Structure formats: structure tokens, C-alpha cells
Structure 1
């Protein structure tokens, strides 16, 4: 048993070492480490923020988000959260599994939770800024060039879509920002089908359609699956997806493909090799940039 970790758990739970047992490492995420432990016959998860996350996550804002959604049934129950160092303890969600992004049942349940969040139009005091994140991640490259020779050219073209995106944002509400399938836990009980949305560390006020993008590109959806996913979201919300709205979503795919490319390159420079992930995201950036340019060109021809 890791003595240092045990001390941390005892400190935040305010209990004696003898009361903690069965500490097990969870599969690490891309930004944090997680451990399961048992206290009084109940299981809990402690999150230990990873190296460099203090540059990317405002823990005070995260704590505020958990306060906002408390009692609404979206997430796991938070027992403890430290807004200074990001250590978090929550109750373990028993009898659940991680959402399979290619299982329609799982994905539809996750979409229903996402749609419920968006329909509530919750408010917090801070906004997500995509373009600030670009500046942050690029600054973490420490002056090193991208592994992609045309990165700067593609970046300039994608940043040029900003005006179109902002013209087509219909609302700014509490948005998860990182609802990828590993952050969706699906109940195993067929009598109580539900998806819980966990890890709200990036949640902020933003265009809710970004949540669709962040799920889909993390799951590596191809174009056919992407269309199905977008259509299903608007079907559940009983809304139409206009030509401009769909084009805006494609523009987000290009933008966030590039953003996560920049993030992955920053992590590579820090010593975590995410080259394969960067290549997938960069392909999204280039492919959907072309799709958006073609759609905007066709729109101009019709006009």
C-alpha cells in the first residue's frame, strides 16, 4: 500500500489508517490519477490531479460547478473537493460501466443526460474560452515546432472560422466541455437505465453544441457515425438542426481537433507520448476544415 497515498486519504476523510482498506489503482485518465478505496464497507474514489493540470484547470471554478449541480442527479456524489490542489473524493458508482461509444443503447442514455443538462440552462459565473486554450497549450510547447509541417497554415485557416462560429451561437449555458465516453457511466440495471456524467473539471458557460463535438472526436467517430450522433441529439431535444448550425458543429470539430492536437503536443513535450492521439485529432482538424469550407462555398453560390 502506498503510504503517502494512504496518508492523503486519511487526511481528507479525517479517519484513522485502520479504517481504510482495499486501495486499488484505476486506469489513469489523460489528466488525472484515480484510486478506489473502501471505508466502512463503502467504496470511494480519490482523484489526484496529474502533472501540469494546474495550468489547465481552475479548481475553484470546478468546485463551484459541483455545488451548482449538487442534488440534480447528473454526477457521482462528491464527499470532498479541495479548490486549491484539486484532490477530490466521491462515492464509487456501483454497478455501472463506462459508456461504449459504439453501443447505441449506451450512447443514447449518455445523450439523454446531456440533453437534460442543456435543457436546464444552468448558469455559473465563468465562461470557457476556446481561443485562450489555444494560447495556453501552444505556450506549453516551449518554443518547439509541431510534428505537423503545415500546422501553422491549418491553424490560421481554422482560427478564421471563429467569426462564423460566434455568429451562429444561439445560447451560452453550463456545458460540460469534456463529456467523452470515459466520463459517462452507464447503469447495469435494466430497470433503471441511466447515464451519469462525471469529471466536471472543465465545465463552464459555453455553446452546448461543443459537448457533442468533444464526445464524438474522443470516440474517433467516422463521418457516418458523426452524423448519426448529431441527428440523435437534436431528435432527443425535439429540435431541428439547421444548415448553419450543422456547419458550425463541423467548424467546432475542426477547431477542437486542432485544439486537442496542440494539447497532445504539449503533453509530448512534457514527456507523455500522445503522438497517435495527436494524429487522429489533426486529421479531424484538416478533414472538417475542408468540409466547412465546401459548405460555406455552396451557401455563397446559392446566395
Structure 2
């Protein structure tokens, strides 16, 4: 039946199709098409009616095995290639020529008679809810979207894929013309021909268009590009293999295509063939970044509607099209940042994270930057909004973060902290850890509660430590507080700078050492060595005690911080567990005689 399936589909979709048109659509000679039609007529799959070919009941029955059951649209990822647009909008909901990419695909599926549509969501998942009401789609949540690659998306949609005829689509693809059909005879992967060198997934195939090998990178080749279709037979065999790969250690960064590549390379004869589905130039678009989107849709050149891009254009007095080299940076725990270029100089734009207006006083942060400005130990600030928290700063080409496991490097970081503390700089605000613990506790309670079972017991221990510190008070000065190794940068000319002063305030200097230690997941021995490096001498017993007390209190504080962020929808994995453990373990250390 598969021999006739494409012919029957074309006649089903347009009974007025000519034999010459069929030859072009089926990539067959006119003679081969004539032979195929004669055979289909003799088998009663088609009939002639007024010089047209029509499907018979037998023909429709033949096609029924190839009817598409549904489409699964992958929409869980962050879309780092489209920053800063995707800080506000999921990539599939970005518009091209005034139409959201995912909606264009849904409409094309509907035109083909496919209404069972499953969208797998993750990042900014709430933004997709309206599609349920507008198009009657189903939403499936992928909780691993931030930790695993798209292999996790197919895992969480497995019940809708396994044993089904199903399209596997990406929410951020754009198809010029509708390439979906109600009936699909074979499994296939959309492909385009790329001249020259490419880093895409390259396909090799035989005369039957069956994919025989997949490699990453190549030259002058057909590559994976756009939609995919799984036949019922293919999904029945492939999905259990994918599920096994998903559960295997080391597969977190896998694409589902990695599984396909391995099976094809290993010549798994049980897996039905996946075919190449070549597309003409300009039919399928997988936008690599905002620059490509700009070149395709003029809207994004000057009027993106994005707050950050509008701000940059205003600060530098340039059109948005002059903002180049946009790319995401490693996501911070408090904010989101991206890199951009203006006039061949690189800068970083910081966008305040969700809920930071309750956690950070931006006026205090600004005051801290101004207080240390003459020391030249921070990043160079180009723009700072004391109300919103948006910040633009110089990016130091060739710089890198300090390595918390490099003792010599951390010694240099401690020298910078010591020189800061020794200047006894004063500002009008404090970082009071007791007040912060109380405040974060209230935020947690108001946003959903604190899930640690023994939190009341640990809280009592933290009060004991606060009393201990009250009896050991020493002079305060401006402290950085957020002295994670990632905030110490080593520039290309080997200078050390300390960036991101949003938590800075008046405090006891040793809190900076404690914060650095827990952020670096240091053991007691490593924390002791860090303190010794800072003081450049053997610490007194009371100094060790103070370090441990601040490590415990800081661990508890950031555990509460993480609980609050989780309550409002931002997850940080096991970070809260590690911080909570510091609270418990170093309470014990601080209370030793």
C-alpha cells in the first residue's frame, strides 16, 4: 500500500491534479506516474470522473493507515539565541510579519485537518495558556527544561508520541507554505541543502531517500532543518529507545536527534527507516539569532518592542539596528544579563529578575557603587537606573571568572576584599543579616510557606548564633556580601575586579569571607584556609567562630531566598539543600568550645 500512498494523498488533496503535476510532486517520470495510476485504477483505489481522478472507498481505506494522529510542538526551551526578546516572551510566541510563529504552525496544521495538538512547555509556561482557549490545544509541562535538552521534551510527551502517527515540531520554526498533510506515508526529517561548511546535522541517504548516516558538521550537504514526522511503526520502536537514553547518566545535554543518530550509526534494523524530506530554498526558517530575525522581518530592526533594546538605543542615542552581537550570558540567580556590541565595543545589559524589587534596594546598590567608584575595583558603569535596576556596564574582553579551586587566584580575591575593608568606607545603609532572615522568612510565608520539615528547630539555632555574634561585635564597613567567585573577574591584563554590588551594605568584614566560602561550596578546611589567606596570619579562635557563625547564618538566609524564589516560580535545583546544610553543619562548628 505504501507504494500508492503518495499518489492517493495527492489525489485526495486535489482531484484536479494533472499527471504532469503528479510527476513533479512525486519526483517521478511521467511514464512512471502513468503506470502507477493504471495500477491504482486496477486495484480500485482511484476512479475517473469527468476527466478527474477521485479516491474510491478502497483508496480512502488504503490511506487510513497513514492518517496523522496529532502534532507535538516543542516549546519548553529558553531560546538563548533570541535574547533579550526571550527574557520577556517565549521564542515560539515571537512574531514574524505580525503573526506568532507557533500560531502560524497551529493554523497550518488545522488547514491540513490536524486538530489534536500537544504543546510541551517549560520556560514562561504561563504565556502559552491562552492557546488552550484559542485553539483547543493541550499543554504538557516539562519540569526539566532548564536542566536537560530537548530529549526531555519528547520524554514528557511520550504518551502522545509512542505508537502514533505524529508530527514533531519546534515552536520557533517558520514555514512559508503549508507543508503538513492529513496523511503521511513515511517517517521523515525536513532538510535543506547548504553550500559550503556547516555545523548543522548533516544527512546521508540512499536512492530511496532513507537516511543512512548523520554527522554533526560537513560541507555542501543536506542538513536537518525544520519539522519531523514519526510514523506509527517508527514511534513504536523509537520511543522506548529514547526513554532508555533519557534515563541513562550523561544524557542531560542530548537532543533527541542524538538518539536517532546513534541508532542509525549502529544500524538498528528493528527501527523503520527515517527519510529525508528535501525542502526548496526559502520554505523553512530556523532563525539562529535576533540578527537573522532582523534581516527577515524589518520590524525587529528599529521597533522590536523590547524594553532593554529600547533602553540601549536611548542611552547610546542610536537606532536599534546598530545594536549588534546580542548573546546571552550565564544566567545569574538574581538577574538576567546579555551581551551586546555598539561601535565594536562590548557591553553587558542587566535586567532585574522576577521579584527582585522585594529583595534589592537599587538606590542602595547605586550608593555602594558610588562609594567605591574611585577605587576602580568594579566594572565600569555606563548607565544605572535607581528605580528599575536596569544596568549597562562595560564588558571586559578576554576576562574570566575567578576559579574557587585555585588557591592563588582566591588569595588575590581576598587581597581585594581586605583592601576594601581596610578603607572603612561608610554608606548610609546596612546589610543586617538578622533583619534579612526575618524579612525573607515573611516573604516565604506570604508566597507559599517554607517546606523544610525542621525549619522551626533550625530557626531557633540561628537565633542562638545571632546572640553569639551580638556578644562579639566588631567595627562595620562597606562589605560586598555577594562575594561569589563568579563576581570576581580576572581581566585580560590580569587585574582583579569585583562586580555586582546589589547586596552590598555596612556589615562586619568577615561576612564577605563566609559568603565566598559557602558560594564556593567549601569544606571547613577550605573555609579556614580562605580566612587565613584574607588575614595573612593565623586567625584567632574567636575569628574562626565568627566565620562559622556567618557561614551558618548565610546558608540559612540563602536557603530562605531560594525557597521564596521557588514559591514565585523560579527553581534553582539543589542550591537550597546545600545552603540549608551549611546552616546546620556550621551551627555545630560555631558552637564548639
Residue from 537, 540, 545 that aligns with 1:242: 540
Matches within 5 A, 1:67-146: 67-143=370-446, 144-146=448-450
Query: How far 1:8 moved relative to its partner?
Result: 2.4
Match of 1:268 in 2: 566
Residues 62 and 201, structure 1, Cα contact 8 Å, conserved in 2: yes
Matches within 5 A, 1:228-239: 228-235=529-536
Query: How far 1:197 moved relative to its partner?
Result: 0.1
* 1:74 match: secondary structure: coil
In 2, distance between residues paired with 1:162 and 1:142?
21
- After superposition, the C-alpha distances for 1:50-71 in whole angstroms (9 at most, x for unaligned) are 0000101111111111111113
How many residues end up aligned between the 2 structures? 289
Query: How far 1:274 moved relative to its partner?
Result: 2.6
Which has the larger Rg?
Answer: 2
Residues 175 and 204, structure 1, Cα contact 8 Å, conserved in 2: yes
In 1, distance between residues paired with 2:332 and 2:449?
26
In 2, distance between residues paired with 1:218 and 1:139?
24
Does residue 225 (structure 1) correspond to residue 529 (structure 2)? The answer is no
Match of 1:212 in 2: 513
Residue from 65, 69, 72 that aligns with 2:368: 65
Unaligned runs of 5+ in 1: 296-303
In 2, distance between residues paired with 1:206 and 1:222?
24
- After superposition, the C-alpha distances for 1:92-127 in whole angstroms (9 at most, x for unaligned) are 122211111001222112111111111111111111
Structure 1 outlier segments of 4+, above 4 Å: none
Instruction: Out of 200-209 and 104-113, give the one that drifted further.
Output: 104-113
Residues 400 and 491, structure 2, Cα contact 8 Å, conserved in 1: yes
- After superposition, the C-alpha distances for 1:123-174 in whole angstroms (9 at most, x for unaligned) are 1111111122112211222454433211111111111221221222321101
Unaligned runs of 5+ in 2: 1-81, 86-303
* 2:350 match: secondary structure: strand
In 1, distance between residues paired with 2:470 and 2:573?
31
In 2, distance between residues paired with 1:110 and 1:98?
11
Match of 1:201 in 2: 502
Residue from 176, 184, 209 that aligns with 2:488: 184
- After superposition, the C-alpha distances for 1:161-207 in whole angstroms (9 at most, x for unaligned) are 21221222321101001111111101344xxx321100001111110
Match of 1:301 in 2: none
With a CA cutoff of 8 Å and minimum separation of 6, indicate the structure with the bigger relative contact order.
1
Tell me the TM-score normalised to structure 2 length.
0.47
Residues 109 and 194, structure 1, Cα contact 8 Å, conserved in 2: no
Residue from 450, 469, 479 that aligns with 1:175: 479
